[in-house]
Structure 1
Amino acid sequence: MSDASLTPRSRASALGHHLWAKEKVWLASAALLAALLVFAPELGVSSAGFVVQNLLNVAPFLALSVGIAAYAGASGADGLIARAFTGAPAMMILIAALMGGLSPFCSCGVIPLIAALLAMGVPLSAVMAFWLASPVMDPSMFVLTTGVLGFEFAVAKTLAAVGLGVLGGTLVHLLSRSGALSDPLREGVGNGGCGGAKVRNAQPVVWRFWQDGARVEKFIREAIKTTLFLAKWLTLAFLLESLMLAFVPAELVASALGGTGIVPIGIATLVGVPAYLNGYAALPLVGGLMSQGMAPGAGLAFLVAGGVSSLPAAIAVWALVKREVFLLYLGIALAGSFAIGLLFQLWMAL
């Protein structure tokens, strides 16, 4: 049926359906914020301020990561990056986990790089290793963790980041060998594993891409597309996080995480998902709980699970990959965090 044969009402309905399908994230955020401003004006204003402030806080990291991804695509360097992730799977996963633990990107800022790597055909195992390790630790986080929780805890958190990345990458590699997870990206985000042609067919790299008009256009197009994609999902994520902070008192989190033994570690792992504030705000909270008797293993499990699967990180992952990959990511984050907390608790008891 052609558009000309549609009635005005049918056209309006089709247009509305198309608009909702394409912009449902923006519309959902706008509807939620509008409802807050009408029924709880104070909360609505504070939530809007929270979203703006957090978007400004992550803007430098997002700008850097978007710029790197767009530059790689415009210059043709994406093929070189992809080939750097080839070789023996075990070494590739280990290097990716180490890079993730040392990179300065937050879980949101690394999203465009992850999308670019997957679209280039880089194995999901290496990408998953990088993705899991990246939000747990970075150089500035290591320094702050040392100051708040001590050097031993900072080292343990660093090893946890790398270990979680290796665990996740290895598990994904084993699953991929059976043919699973061959096309991880959602439709419209990238071309998934099919981008492997960039690895097989080397193209010349034009480092000074700005001397080529077509490449400049590609850089601008990709940068705008990625920025808008991230902006809509991060806006929703930070809006939901503001509501979580408003309705989940810190005292409730503290009471749930107190005590020692295996049970608090399990509770800390689960509570870390919805109650995690951010990497910097969570450190003093955990420090205060540990001074009141919370086991170090529970504290580490809370920080690792919350960092990897907090609302902004989880929503970013959901927006980028298919459901089965998202569930695998979440399962690895929770199971790995619980195991890390237990191991650290055993180590502290020796």
Structure 2
Amino acid sequence: MESRAIGTPDTPQTPNSASSSSASPLPALQLPATPRNRASLVVDRSPAATASISSNFAFDWDAARARKPGPYSTPQSISKASRRSLGVPGPGTPLRKGVVRKKGIFERVTALPSQIVFHIHMFPSNVPLPKPQTSAWIIGGTLHFIHFCVRVTQIRQVPDSDLGWEDLYHEGEGHSWFDWTVPMTIFLLGAAVLNTIYLFSRIKLYRLHLRPDPVSSPNAKFVAAQLDFQPLEPPPLRARITKSLWFGFSASWRFLLGMQPPVYNTAPPAKTARVQQLEVWTPGELELMLFNVYSPAHVFLWMATHSSNWMLMIFIMGLVGAQANVMTHSYKALLKDKEIIAAEVLNEYNTGFVYPRINPVRKDAAVMTHQSE
């Protein structure tokens, strides 16, 4: 047993103290040293508590754009070659101007026939037309001017002694009932009606394969599912018009006879795989603006215009067009604002929650590389 003095600190002996006590009858014994703790991974210890070889860091955009050197030096023997191969100019290196070979006169002359054939094939898509809104104003203004000329010609044939409401009654007296104004009026009315039909008949089909329950839309219906990867084509316009007319005729007679109204869209059989189809209205800019400028309502207002109320009718036509234009513009702005709000909500959710968790920016601590290279 080793004897120790009471009150002395319990410290290991140093070589000096061992040499000074060489006269002691007992040899100097070296005390055991405490071993260092070693990191050991056991079952009840989380791997996240151990040292990681990866760490988050901010991407060095300035170094990537070669605006500053990397954190360590690059050998001079390979710096120029590597930067030249990567296409990144070094500091103080002027940019090299590229040389573009121009075609000669013989090549341009021989390529002229192929260019002419190409432009003929692309006609009329390659014609520089104005914007749809400008084209609609030009077409609508031309139709208004033609209708104004037609009404002036018809009003001039009315005797001067007729005034007020009698103009409409005596408008057809004293001349033939058929002249150039009749087919022109029919043409103007047909143009307005056809533009309206084409505007409200432009639809695009979408199929909701993952939505088994019906959506709250009058344009949604269930159809038979078809595994066809071709774009969906809507039914022809003639078939849709015929179906709508027959449905209106059948519904009116059933209403008068006290019967149940017919079903517009018949669902597929129960044993058939079905999917929900949504018909989305996709109006064009030209047709929509032309409908605001020259609609069937404007045509009938022109027909009711005569020498005693032409100022009032022109004011009403302008008011109708302005009201439709303002309503269309406001509703389009509302739809765009809703799209912006929905996109911003999704962007904030992705930026604050999704991207920091699924795409963390990391680097490997064992690789000596940097954005400057």
Q: TM-score, normalised by structure 2?
A: 0.20
| Greater Rg by CA | 2
Whose helix proportion is higher, 1 or 2?
1
TM-score between both structures, scaled by the size of structure 1: 0.21
